Amino acid sequence: MNQFQYTRPLETAGAVKATAKDPAAHFLAGGTNLIDLMKMGVVVPEKLVDINLLPLKKIERTADGLRIGALVTNTAVATDPLVMKNFPLLSRAINAGASPQLRNVATVGGNMMQRTRCPYFFDTMMPCNKRKPGSGCGALQGFNRMHAIFGASENCIAVNPSDMNVALTALDALVHISGPKGPRTIKFADFHRLPGDQPELDNNLQKGELITAVELKASPFTKNTDYLKVRDRSSYAFALVSAAVALHMEGNTIAGAALAMGGVAHKPWRLKPVETFLKGKTASDAVFKQAASIAMEGAKAFEYNKFKLKLAPNTLIQALKTAAGIAS
């Protein structure tokens, strides 16, 4: 691991100042991803700004929902009674990721900042436009079994590895950010980005900006939810494909749907056209099959991930059936 300056600010403003003018400075929260990347030489920060003493560790009720501080651990979010009652999809998604040891340390903000698990990104001997812009994409013609089927570019076909992000996208969360130019709030769906010709950028944060909280507005999606994650072993593995499904059911009728998929794109993949299609429909196998075919429009596979073209719609159908209560 490279040597670095280490600083531990007490105030958010201090943390922002400590990184804003320092191009190779990194925030350090739980460290479960960053320390690993530093050991591998994938990320080489000249300065670590340890933000663990910042006052961002509370889950608070707002007038119409919840505000979750960026430093709340994944375990604390997943086991919070208000989250479990009002946003069960989020709790389920978090518990589907990593291991209890990692969730005890990993934070909400850190989970959002998690880098891809593409093996070409991790291997510093391989080309990777995300790690080293302009060096090429090793996965494009390489071993691309885990890779994207939506929104990829010729520069990068990596996927976002987070489960939490998929649920927060479906639930229309808001992201509160502090930065050198003051605070701002953006939609969760606008936080992560597609690779395009700048795959080195995972998200739309500007230099020196720090995530301070995630906010969730009360929604009718409290009962009929499912997070279905398909992976190579039954636990503690990254998703091949996952589906976050929250339905607002009135009897058998779908009054509203919130849907996103994981393991399929560079960002959590929101399924807006499918949500529109499902509104007002009666839950049935046939309707959900149609929904899945809409979801798969525009999908494109590479040599080793063609199985995702079948796995993704099947995963979505199964999660929809479970959420609607018609799974056999």
Partner 1 sequence: MQQVMPRKKTPTSADESNQFTETRRDFLKQSSLLTAIALTPASVIKAADEKWDQKFAGIFEKVSLHLEVNGTKHDFLLDPRVTLLDLLREELHLTGTKKGCDRGQCGACTVHVNGMRVNSCLSLAVTNEGKKITTIEGLANGKTLHPMQEAFIKHDGFQCGYCTSGQIMSAVACIKEGHAGSEDEIREFMSGNICRCGAYPNIVNAIKEVKEGGLS
Q: Is 327 in the site for partner 1 (CB under 8 A)?
A: no
Choices 29-37, 185-193, 204-212, 253-261 (CB under 8 A): range interacting with partner 1 = 29-37
Of 84, 56, 81, give the one whose Cα is nearest residue 68. Answer: 56
State the number of binding residues for partner 1 (CB under 8 A): 40
- Least Å distance, CB 230 to partner 1, is 16
| Candidate residues 26, 27, 32, 157; the one interacting with partner 1 per rule CB under 8 A | 32
| Candidate residues 77, 98, 148, 241; the one interacting with partner 1 per rule CB under 8 A | 98
Tokens describing residue 168: 């927060």
Q: Is 123 in the site for partner 1 (CB under 8 A)?
A: no
Q: Looking at beta carbons only, is 231 or 281 nearer to partner 1?
A: 231
Tell me how far apart the alpha carbons of residues 328 and 326 are, in angstroms, rounded to a whole number: 6
Choices 97-105, 184-192, 215-223, 282-290 (CB under 8 A): range interacting with partner 1 = 97-105
Site string for partner 1, 172-211 (x = CB under 8 A): ----------------------------------------
The HSE-up count of residue 270 (CA atoms within 13 Å, CB side) is 21
Q: Looking at beta carbons only, is 42 or 324 nearer to partner 1?
A: 42
Q: Is 105 in the site for partner 1 (CB under 8 A)?
A: yes
* DSSP 8-class letter at 67: E
Site string for partner 1, 48-87 (x = CB under 8 A): x-x-xx---------------------x------------
Yes or no: say if 4 and 48 are a contact pair by the CB < 8 Å rule: yes
- Least Å distance, CB 14 to partner 1, is 3
Q: Is 11 in the site for partner 1 (CB under 8 A)?
A: yes
Q: How far is CA 157 from CA 61, 153, 160, 254, 302, in A?
A: 39, 6, 10, 34, 9
Q: Is 102 in the site for partner 1 (CB under 8 A)?
A: yes
CA-atom Rg of the chain in angstroms: 19
Sequence-ordered list of residues with C-beta below 8 angstroms from that of 71, at least 6 positions apart, any chain: 29, 51, 52, 54, 56, 57, 107, 108, 109
N-terminal to C-terminal alpha carbon distance within the chain: 51
For 86, list phi and psi in degrees, rounded to 5. Answer: -95, -25
Residue 147: strand pairing partners: none
Yes or no: say if 249 and 223 are a contact pair by the CB < 8 Å rule: yes
Q: Is 109 in the site for partner 1 (CB under 8 A)?
A: no
Q: Is 118 in the site for partner 1 (CB under 8 A)?
A: no
45 burial via Cβ count (<10 Å: 0-12, 13-18, 19+): buried
- Least Å distance, CB 51 to partner 1, is 10
Residues lying near partner 1 in the complex (CB under 8 A) are found at: 1, 3-11, 13-15, 17-18, 21-22, 28, 31-32, 35-36, 39, 46-48, 50, 52-53, 75, 98-102, 104-105, 234-236
